[in-house]
């Protein structure tokens, strides 16, 4: 068995970027991309697929005698890149929300995703030396993935960690099938309470995937979301339902929901915007320093650079070739997007070239910012939403200037065209941001296990291309089955069952607000003031105590539906209590033993939580396919339902759902606390 130092030797001759590894990486790419698309549309969060991909890769490749840690690393690199690329869904559904697309244009979505992802890889190549090799940034997910790969390569057990992922996936998929297929379990419980002449609710969502996501985000973000829920539903919703009057025939529950949708969510959007901008401001200086160091490394004479295998990036010639292909692809897809508007040729070409230039130039600086943020606070905690908000504002202002000078707003659909073009430009920027945010973690993992950088960069590009082929079909499938807020494919669909797509809805709202005067800016201004207050409170807390209240998480707590967030909060609290339980169990041991036990329990919990997310998400995609087939053949939207109307209207689905939800949490606790004596 080779030691860590042996894997880092320059002369090492081991299969690294292999055909079987690329095939396995492609399969995992499809699984994790589909899972992240579903989860992102449902709750506005995506999860890092690096760790579960590494575990699955080790379990499968250990069937081959000549497999090794470097090959496993390439598989997780490819799969994690594509899983992260799915975050493009944070903006692209806006095309349907404004009515510009009737469904997702396959080739345009594919090319934007692939080209943006490849640019994200290319733009971080010059950052690798400064931010990975010569930096003390922690890179939490990257270091964790490296440790798992090292443990797996030295262990004789091929299923280490796979059991947790598989069991979580099976449990979540069964629960999801019983809930959204057979409908014998309810998806949540909502209790309504009168407050004076007003109304509010206390909901509990039963999503096992969201419990897993809550476990991963941690107690700080979980409590911040809880604060956001309280601000919305114990503060603003009761206030507006007390001070305003419902329309004739409207129930108080429907009135409270309308106040939340029309006013309170805009307050949350304003708070999220302030929090995102503040986060970027606090990181501005270190990001600028990192870019300066990276540019200095690029200008370094060739003879002064190390020739070690672990310091060889893609060649300048290869980078130039890929960049040229990507640029041509972006110009082509932008032209195909703008051309149907039938503008004069000079206006069409101007919009195309300006859009691509803005996307590429902003993408470069976004890549540097996201690379640094990923190293500083981790991929999962990095505020990609903030990047998206800034990108949509800049893109909208740019399009507003161009369209005003060309007189496009005087055309019948001029405002819709301008809004759609701003969203399209932002989707490219966001694809760059997502990949640069992720691949620095992968490069850190590779640096710690002895990978060859240029091979990793090739794997990242492959992951982007494979993932891009998955995103558009899955988006179309989910849209046809569930719809989005304000964009339902069929008139008879229940808007309450639509996937929230919160970031896309927020960015679309911002873009429409810039191009029109119909947005209720008063509520956004309230959110901005609230966001400033939250930022000040958080600064004071972090400066004087060990506590923190991330303003972005509070804003999401206000903005997202409460039934989505309660399982997130529950998962975060469960994770905190389990850590505390482990600490108390081994309290008499030395600090090193306690830390080892905490990490061991956390690892099992992370893998089981990842399994819950993947299981429910994939079942959601499969059920979407069943629904679409049923509807397209004249059936209904609940083709697998086995319950009667009497049963569906009784308390039993909610009761059974609660019991299964609690049992799942109990099993999660058992997984985390199952230490061998």
Give residue-wise pLDDT tens across range 608-653: 887 887 788 778 778 777 877 887 677 776 788 888 888 888 889 9
Which structure tokens are listed for 484? 């989005």
Q: How many angstroms separate the CA atoms of 549 and 240, rounded?
A: 26
Query: Which residues 6+ apart lie within 8 Å of 146 measured at CB?
Result: 444, 445, 448, 449
* Top-ranked range on mean pLDDT: pick from 144-148, 251-255, 383-387: 251-255
pLDDT at residue 409, rounded to an integer: 86
Inform me whether the pLDDT recorded for 488 exceeds 80.
yes
- Check residue 48 and give its pLDDT: 66
Residue 373: name the closest of 214, 569, 552, 533 by CA: 552
Low-confidence winner among 23-27, 506-510, 567-571 (lowest mean pLDDT):
506-510
What average pLDDT does the segment 442-462 reach? 82
CB-hemisphere CA count at 13 Å for 623? 25
pLDDT of residue 220: 87
For residue 23, is pLDDT > 60?
Answer: yes
The 10 Å Cβ neighbour count of residue 133 is 15
Instruction: Provide mean pLDDT across the span 285-293.
Output: 59
**CA–CA distances in Å: residue 281 to residues 273, 388, 437, 473, 596:** 12, 15, 17, 37, 36
Residue 232: the pLDDT is 94
Lowest pLDDT segment from 14-18, 445-449, 611-615, 652-656: 14-18
> Does residue 252 surpass a pLDDT of 80?
yes
Between residues 102 and 5, the one the model is more confident about: 102
Measured between alpha carbons, how far is 33 from 39 in angstroms, rounded to an integer?
A: 10
Query: DSSP string covering 332-391, please?
Result: HHHHHHHGGG---HHHHHHHHHHHHHHHHHHHHHHHHHHHHHHHHH-TTTS-HHHHHHHH
DSSP 408: G
Q: For 135-194, how does the pLDDT look when each residue is reduced to its tens digit (9 = 90+)?
A: 666 676 677 677 677 766 655 444 456 788 888 889 999 998 999 888 899 888 888 889
pLDDT tens across 112-132, in order? 988 988 998 888 787 777 677
Q: What are phi and psi of 344, to 5 degrees?
A: -55, 150
Mean pLDDT, rounded, for 31-54: 73
What pLDDT sits at residue 296?
60
**pLDDT for res 159:** 45
- Confidence check: pLDDT of 677 > 70: no
Residue 424: pLDDT over 70: yes
pLDDT confidence band for 323 (50 / 70 / 90): very high
Q: For the chain, what are the domain ranges? A: 15-160+283-326+356-496
* pTM summary value: 0.73
Which is more confidently placed, 58 or 138?
58
Tell me what pLDDT residue 8 has.
53
According to DSSP, the residues that pair with 190 across neighbouring strands are 203
Q: Which of 99-108, 399-408, 550-559, 616-625 has the lowest mean pLDDT?
A: 616-625
What's the pLDDT at 135?
64
Tell me the C-alpha distance between 401 and 384, whole Å.
26
- pLDDT of residue 242 exceeding 90: yes
> Could you report the per-residue pLDDT of 262-281, keeping only the tens digit for each?
889 888 878 877 886 786 67
Report the distance separating Cα 31 and Cα 39, nearest Å: 12
CB 428 within 8 A of CB 115: yes
325-334, 411-420, 459-468, 495-504: which is most confident: 325-334
Instruction: Assess whether pLDDT exceeds 60 at residue 297.
Output: no
Residue 530 or 490, more confident: 530
What 3-state class would DSSP assign to 194? strand
Give yes or no for a contact between 460 and 439, defined as CB atoms under 8 angstroms apart. Answer: yes
User: CA–CA separation, 43 vs 38, rounded Å?
Assistant: 9
CA atoms within 13 A on the CB side of 36: 30
Predicted confidence band of residue 4 (pLDDT cuts 50, 70, 90): very low
**234 with 200: CB under 8 angstroms?**
yes
Inform me whether the pLDDT recorded for 309 exceeds 50: yes
The residue behind tokens 């901008």 is 277
For residue 156, the SS3 value is coil
Q: Phi and psi of 330, rounded to 5°? A: -65, -40
Q: Which of 264, 259, 271, 294 is nearest to 365 (CA)?
A: 294
Cα distance between residue 573 and residue 222, in whole Å: 7
At residue 156, the pLDDT reads: 46
CB atoms within 10 A of CB 293: 16
Are 107 and 335 within 8 A, CB to CB? no
Q: What percentage of residues in the chain have a pLDDT greater than 90?
A: 18
Average pLDDT in the chain: 81
Report residue 592 as tokens. 């090193």
Distance CA 498, CA 42 (A): 8
Mean pLDDT across 588-608: 83
Packing angle of the helix pair 414-449, 50-61 (nearest 10 deg): 50
Q: Which residue has the higher pLDDT, 67 or 223?
A: 223
Residue 357: pLDDT band (50, 70, 90) is very high
């Amino acid at each position: 068995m080779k030691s860590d130092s042996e894997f880092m030797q320059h002369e090492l001759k081991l299969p690294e970027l292999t055909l079987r590894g690329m095939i396995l990486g492609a399969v995992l790419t499809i699984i994790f991309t589909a899972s992240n698309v579903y989860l992102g549309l449902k709750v506005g969060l995506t999860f890092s697929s690096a760790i579960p991909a590494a575990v699955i890769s080790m379990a499968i490749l250990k069937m081959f005698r000549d497999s090794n840690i470097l090959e496993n690393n390439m598989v997780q690199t490819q799969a994690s890149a594509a899983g992260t690329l799915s975050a493009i869904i944070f903006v692209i559904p806006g095309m349907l929300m404004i009515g510009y697309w009737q469904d997702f244009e396959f080739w345009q979505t594919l090319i934007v995703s692939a080209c943006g992802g490849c640019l994200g890889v290319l733009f971080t190549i010059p950052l690798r030396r400064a931010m990975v090799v010569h930096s003390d940034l922690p890179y939490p997910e990257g270091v964790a993935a490296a440790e798992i790969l090292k443990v797996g390569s030295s262990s004789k057990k091929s299923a280490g960690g796979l059991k947790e992922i598989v069991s979580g996936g099976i449990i979540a998929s069964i629960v999801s099938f019983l809930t959204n297929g057979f409908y014998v379990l309810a998806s949540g419980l909502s209790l309504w309470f009168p407050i004076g002449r007003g109304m509010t609710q206390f909901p509990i969502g039963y999503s096992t995937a969201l419990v897993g996501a809550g476990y991963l985000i941690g107690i700080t973000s979980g409590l911040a979301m809880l604060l956001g829920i309280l601000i919305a539903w114990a503060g603003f919703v009761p206030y507006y339902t007390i001070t305003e009057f419902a329309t004739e025939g409207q129930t108080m529950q429907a009135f409270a929901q309308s106040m939340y949708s029309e006013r309170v969510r805009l307050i949350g959007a304003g708070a999220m915007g302030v929090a995102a901008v503040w986060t970027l401001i606090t990181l501005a200086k270190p990001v600028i320093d990192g870019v300066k160091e990276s540019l200095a490394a690029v200008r370094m004479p060739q003879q002064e650079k190390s020739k070690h295998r672990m310091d060889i990036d893609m060649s300048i010639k290869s980078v130039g070739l890929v960049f040229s292909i990507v640029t041509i692809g972006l110009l082509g897809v932008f032209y195909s997007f703008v051309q149907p508007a039938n503008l004069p040729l000079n206006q069409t070409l101007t919009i195309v070239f300006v859009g691509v230039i803005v996307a590429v130039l902003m993408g470069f600086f976004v890549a540097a910012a996201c690379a640094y943020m990923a190293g500083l606070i981790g991929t999962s905690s990095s505020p990609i939403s903030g990047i998206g908000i800034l990108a949509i504002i800049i893109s909208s202002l740019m399009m507003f200037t161009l369209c005003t000078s060309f007189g496009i707003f005087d055309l019948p659909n001029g405002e819709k065209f301008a809004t759609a073009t701003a969203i399209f430009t932002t989707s490219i920027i966001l694809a760059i941001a997502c990949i640069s945010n992720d691949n620095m973690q992968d490069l850190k993992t590779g640096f710690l296990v002895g990978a060859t950088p240029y091979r990793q960069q090739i794997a990242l590009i492959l992951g982007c291309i494979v993932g891009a082929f998955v995103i558009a079909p899955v988006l179309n499938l989910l849209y046809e089955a569930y719809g989005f807020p304000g964009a339902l494919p069929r008139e008879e669909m229940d808007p309450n069952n639509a996937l929230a797509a919160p970031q896309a809805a927020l960015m679309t709202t911002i873009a429409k607000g810039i191009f029109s005067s119909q947005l209720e800016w008063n509520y956004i201004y309230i959110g901005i003031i609230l966001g400033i207050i939250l930022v000040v409170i958080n600064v004071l807390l972090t400066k004087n105590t060990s506590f923190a209240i991330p303003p972005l998480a509070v804003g999401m707590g206000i903005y997202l539906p409460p039934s989505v967030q309660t399982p997130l909060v529950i998962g975060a609290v469960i994770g905190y209590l389990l850590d505390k339980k482990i600490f108390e169990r081994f309290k008499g041991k030395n600090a090193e033993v306690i830390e080892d036990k905490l990490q061991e329990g956390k690892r099992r919990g992370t893998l089981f939580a990842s399994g819950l997310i993947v299981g429910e998400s994939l079942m959601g995609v499969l059920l979407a396919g069943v629904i679409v087939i049923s509807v397209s053949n004249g059936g209904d939207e609940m083709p697998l339902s086995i319950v009667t109307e009497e049963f569906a209207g009784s308390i039993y689905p909610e009761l059974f759902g609660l019991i299964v939800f609690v049992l799942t949490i109990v099993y999660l606790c058992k997984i985390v606390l199952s230490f061998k004596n």
